[in-house]
Amino acid sequence: MNKVTQQTITYREAVRDAMREAMKKDERVFLMGEDVGRYGGCYNVSQGMLEEFGEERVIDTPLSESGFTGCGIGAAVAGLRPIVEIMTVNFSLLAADQIINTAAKLLYMSGGQFNVPLVIRIATGGGKQLAAQHSHSLEGWYAHIPGLKILTPATVEDAYGMLGPALEDPDPVLIFENTLLYNYEGEFFNDGSTVDISKAKVRREGSDVSIITYGIGLHKSLQAAEQLAKDGIEAEIVDLRLLRPLDDETIFSSVSKTHRAVIVDEGWKSVGISAELSAQITGELFYDLDSPVERICGAEVPAPYAKHLEEISLPRVDDIVESVKQMGGIYG
């Protein structure tokens, strides 16, 4: 990337450009994962990078999620800056021992001696009829673990801008990329700029209800907000951007203004990140709420294959709209 221009690119290209920039800037950075090289990435994200950076820095791994993720941890601790790509979040469960028992805990167990500056990129989410073992959104699970930072870029700007700070972070950062977003286009300046990875962001201002969401949910929520506006309801959309640590300040500030909160999350409702958000909002802003916190989440089923079943298993724009309209005093 030579000249700084404003351009329209896809989320996929944004992730790729961010990796290329990082690798050009820092010799220690390398990409490792299944089919990231010759194949160009399962979702084409790293296409062309093997040719550009060579086998030393774009490394095709055997199908050994635990092995290569742990290898990334060791390499990070010993001075490199790995980007480990895990093909889907479901496969990350094979590496859960390394992510949770080592990456997240090493700094603490060692009394502050060994930090793990590792970035793991993980594809997540449903909506492609990939059925029960390729469609789930488990980022909320990982957000349960102290020691990890969980990023969920939903825009082209974040897909590009979050990687730099994630690589500079001294601790393990997991970046969850919703696969439906890879083709999503957006405008941004390719000036190598980074973004703040500690803050949530209000993507649409509104006064009647706060819709709190992340990842693919952001785009559904923005659509819902447009529909609601036709009925005179102004929704404020809060893009969480990170699930751990949560940016309470931005969340609470929005809800204390609108007095209503709807959480949109493709993950399962029970015992998930939506439950945590609801508990935090209710605990902090109990007397400010005009209506109970609502949650629009994935149905409590393993993802079904059949299109019509999968469609109703995930939050839909209409679900969000209806939920908001039912809230106490919303037409007040």
Partner 1 sequence: MATKKKTQKKEPKEGTAESKKKLHLLHQMMRIRQMEEKAYELYTQEKIRGFLHLYDGEEAVAVGVIENLEKEDSIVGTYREHGHALIRGVSMERIMAELFGKAEGCSGGRGGSMHLYDKETNFYGGSAIVANGLPMAAGVAFAYKRQKKDAIACCFFGEGAVDEGEFHESMNLASLWDLPVLFVCENNLYSMGMPFELAEAETDLVTKAKAYKMEGSSVDGMDVLAVQKASKKAVNYIRKNKKPYFLECKTYRYRAHSMFDPERYRDKSEVEEWEERDPIETFSEKLRNEKILNDADWKKLNDEVAEEVQAAVQFAEEGTEEPLENLTKYVYSD
> Residue from 67, 127, 165, 192 that binds partner 1 (CB under 8 A)?
67
Stretch that binds partner 1, among 98-106, 120-128, 215-223, 273-281 (CB under 8 A): 98-106
The dihedral built from the CA positions of residue 227, 233, 237 and 238, taken in this order, carries a sign that is negative
Residues 16-45 that bind partner 1 (CB under 8 A): 30
- Closest by alpha carbon to 236, among 247, 220, 221, 219? 221
According to the binding rule CB under 8 A, does residue 72 interact with partner 1? yes
According to the binding rule CB under 8 A, does residue 90 interact with partner 1? no
Q: Closest CB to partner 1 among 170 and 302?
A: 170
According to the binding rule CB under 8 A, does residue 144 interact with partner 1? no
Q: Closest CB to partner 1 among 57 and 269?
A: 57
Stretch that binds partner 1, among 102-110, 217-225, 273-281, 312-320 (CB under 8 A): 102-110
- What is the closest distance, in whole angstroms, from the C-beta atom of residue 61 to partner 1 in the complex? 8
Angle between helices 248-258 and 273-285 (to 10 degrees): 60
Question: Does the annotation count 259 as an active-site position?
Answer: no
309 CB-near residues (< 8 Å, 6+ apart): none
Stretch that binds partner 1, among 69-77, 222-230, 298-306, 315-323 (CB under 8 A): 69-77
Q: Which two tokens stand for residue 19?
A: 């990796």
SS3 state at 296 = strand
> Residue from 146, 232, 283, 332 that binds partner 1 (CB under 8 A)?
146
Beta-ladder partners of 212: 238, 263
> Residue from 42, 80, 130, 285 that binds partner 1 (CB under 8 A)?
80
* Cis peptide bond upstream of 117, omega within 30: no
Distance of CA 302 to the CA centre of its chain: 21
Question: Does the annotation count 134 as an active-site position?
Answer: yes
- The rounded distance, in Å, linking the Cα atoms of 224 and 190 is 30
Between the alpha carbon of residue 149 and those of residues 79, 104, 173, 255, the distances in Å are 20, 9, 5, 24
SS3 state at 78 = coil
Question: Which residue out of 34, 85, 134, 236 is catalytically annotated?
Answer: 134
SS3 state at 207 = coil
According to the binding rule CB under 8 A, does residue 332 interact with partner 1? no
Catalytic residues: 65, 134
Residues making contact with partner 1 (CB under 8 A):
30, 56, 61-62, 64, 66-80, 97-98, 101-102, 106-115, 146-147, 149, 170-171
